[in-house]
């Protein structure tokens, strides 16, 4: 397999340093084409696991039809008399049927609804254009000329616009990266979005039985979840969890954990907070592998309210259909592809290795492979099997591998805003239209990479455009350190009207979509 190259490639040179190349690499991963064998194996597994229903039920129906067709009117009369006088057998069968139905009802997972969600919109004074960011980095005085050139080129290629936000501590000169300032950022983001969400849903903090907070790079003691419990004086038996160090895909992990807790306990409401802390993670050194996060990550966060109350279905926006999680941490390259460490001057930062793109492609490939059998229509399975038959059995080398059409499974796509090149490669390999990618690209342009909360800004974009209709299926896919790739699938329960408030896009949606310059234009 040809080694995949990042768009903002950081090629390791013999002396161990990193050199930046602005050239657009054309040998990018054809990861979906290598999905085929694993995909068909999972497809077979899915078909076999449902084989009893697929093959025995039709046989039973055919046998009964033939048997009933052979009976005469006299036979039917005799059967009715037998049932009429054998009351004990009828009652026994009825009770057994009711008992089995009751057991099935108790064992099946209860539906979990997304009542509503909110995304953080920072104050105008925290807005920072790309030019302002570069000037601020020069004033800090800690970046050498090579580091400044790297960040300028990375910003040009990032896909970010000029209206992203930084926390106040980072915009000071020099940046103040203390525990107090980092806590201040966390409180600003989390308490704002929770206040907004509780007001929108008319839910009391005392009603929340499950609380899950994910923040990758800032994990103080007491925890961020304890900070929320203390502020809102939540009940003493709340099940609280604080997920740290799990990267940009942790938002879906938090959803999965909250879903499991709602299913296994008597709690009815679950609150999920997804955010990242820029104050504690901003890098002020000169190691190029650690500078890229400065150019991509921006201030943001999202709060999501889940419910398993049946009466909440009437007001809920979405129902959770599937969560698929993929973890490649057993592979050393994947594990080290995003690594928090100190540089040679003991300045802490997030290091991105040259293996990142290869690790990301492998994780995405596996996740999509696993998700496919759960969401794709049966026709796609048949086409895929036919292609495999021609290639493997008939050994037809002129047959190209069949790439499943995920547009048949989803109406909307929310792909994590890692960077512009990530989104463009996902679009190309999944054969998505510009319309499908609009929410992701515009979110990156307007808000930057807000880590695990980015997929919620994308869903808010779709809602603000009035594109969510009843029955629509939404695919959220995110990837991050570990290396992990996770997917969540939602089904819309009702058409979502354009929100008049509590949507981060409300004051700017008319300006989007906007044109984002091509790489060639930027480089010229």
Active site residues: 248, 327, 412, 416, 445, 449
The whole-angstrom separation of Cα 80 and Cα 72 is 13
Asked if residue 381 lies in contact with residue 369, where contact means CB atoms within 8 angstroms, the answer is: no
- Give the number of other Cβ atoms within 10 Å of residue 62's Cβ: 10
> Both tokens of residue 258?
């909250």
The whole-angstrom separation of Cα 416 and Cα 424 is 12
CA 83, distance to chain mean position in Å, is 56
Task: Count how many Cα atoms sit within 13 Å of the Cα of residue 251 in the half-sphere of its side chain.
Answer: 29
The whole-angstrom separation of Cα 71 and Cα 61 is 16
CA 142, distance to chain mean position in Å, is 35
Is residue 484 helix, strand or coil? strand
Determine the straight-line distance between the first and last CA of the chain, rounded to whole angstroms. Answer: 32
**What sign has the CA pseudo-torsion 496, 499, 505, 509?**
positive
Closest to 294 in 3D by CA, of 305, 286, 304, 302: 286
Whether a cis peptide bond, with omega within 30° of 0, leads into 329 is no
- Would residue 466 be called left, alpha or beta, if left means φ above 0 and alpha means ψ between -120 and 50 degrees? left
Which ranges of 17-144 does DSSP label H, i.e. alpha helix?
36-49, 51, 57-70, 73-85, 87-107, 130-140
Whether a cis peptide bond, with omega within 30° of 0, leads into 396 is no
Asked if residue 5 lies in contact with residue 27, where contact means CB atoms within 8 angstroms, the answer is: yes
Closest to 292 in 3D by CA, of 27, 12, 18, 3: 18
Asked if residue 391 lies in contact with residue 399, where contact means CB atoms within 8 angstroms, the answer is: yes
């Amino acid at each position: 397999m040809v080694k995949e190259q990042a768009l903002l490639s950081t090629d390791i040179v013999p002396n161990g340093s990193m050199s930046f190349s602005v050239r657009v690499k054309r040998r990018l991963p054809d990861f979906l084409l290598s999905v085929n064998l694993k995909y068909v194996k999972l497809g077979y597994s899915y078909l076999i696991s449902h084989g009893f229903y697929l093959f025995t039920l039709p046989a039973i129906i055919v046998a009964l039809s033939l048997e009933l067709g052979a009976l005469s009117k006299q036979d039917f009369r005799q059967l009715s008399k037998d049932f009429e006088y054998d009351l004990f057998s009828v009652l026994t069968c009825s009770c057994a049927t009711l008992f089995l139905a009751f057991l099935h009802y108790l064992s099946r997972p209860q539906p979990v609804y997304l009542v509503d969600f909110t995304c953080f919109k920072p104050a105008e004074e925290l807005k920072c254009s790309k030019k302002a960011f570069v000037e601020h980095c020069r004033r800090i005085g800690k970046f050498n000329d090579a580091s400044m050139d790297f960040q300028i080129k990375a910003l040009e290629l990032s896909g970010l616009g000029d209206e992203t936000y930084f926390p106040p501590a980072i915009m000071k000169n020099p940046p103040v990266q203390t525990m107090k300032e980092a806590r201040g950022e966390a409180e600003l983001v989390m308490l704002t979005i929770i206040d907004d969400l509780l007001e929108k849903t008319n839910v009391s903090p005392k009603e929340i039985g499950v609380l899950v907070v994910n923040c990758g790079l800032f994990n103080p003691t007491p925890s961020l979840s304890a900070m929320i419990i203390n502020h809102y004086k939540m009940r003493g038996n709340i099940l609280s969890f604080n997920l740290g160090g799990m990267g940009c895909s942790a938002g879906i992990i938090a959803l999965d954990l909250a879903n499991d807790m709602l299913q296994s306990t008597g709690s009815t409401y679950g609150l999920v907070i997804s955010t990242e802390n820029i104050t504690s993670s901003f890098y002020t050194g000169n190691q190029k592998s650690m500078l890229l996060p400065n150019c991509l990550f921006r201030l943001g966060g999202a709060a999501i309210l889940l419910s398993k109350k049946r009466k909440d279905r009437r007001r809920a926006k979405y129902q959770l259909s599937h969560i698929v999680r993929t973890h490649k941490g057993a592979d050393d390259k994947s594990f080290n592809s995003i690594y928090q460490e100190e540089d040679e001057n003991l300045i802490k930062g997030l290091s991105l290795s040259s293996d990142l793109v290869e690790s990301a492609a492998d994780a995405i490939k596996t996740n999509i492979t696993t998700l496919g059998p759960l969401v794709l229509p049966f026709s796609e399975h048949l086409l895929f099997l036919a292609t495999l038959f021609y290639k493997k059995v008939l050994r037809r080398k002129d047959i190209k591998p069949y790439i499943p059409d995920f547009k048949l499974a989803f109406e909307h796509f929310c792909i994590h805003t890692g960077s512009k090149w990530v989104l463009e490669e996902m679009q190309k390999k999944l054969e998505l239209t510009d319309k499908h990618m609009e929410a992701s690209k515009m979110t990156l342009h307007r808000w930057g990479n807000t880590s695990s909360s980015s997929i919620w800004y994308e869903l808010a974009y779709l809602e603000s455009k009035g594109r969510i209709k009843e029955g629509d299926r939404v695919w959220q896919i995110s990837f991050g350190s570990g290396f992990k790739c996770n997917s969540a699938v939602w089904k819309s329960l009702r058409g979502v009207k354009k929100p008049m408030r509590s949507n981060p896009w409300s004051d700017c949606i008319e300006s989007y979509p906007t044109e984002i310059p091509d790489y060639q234009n930027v480089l010229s």
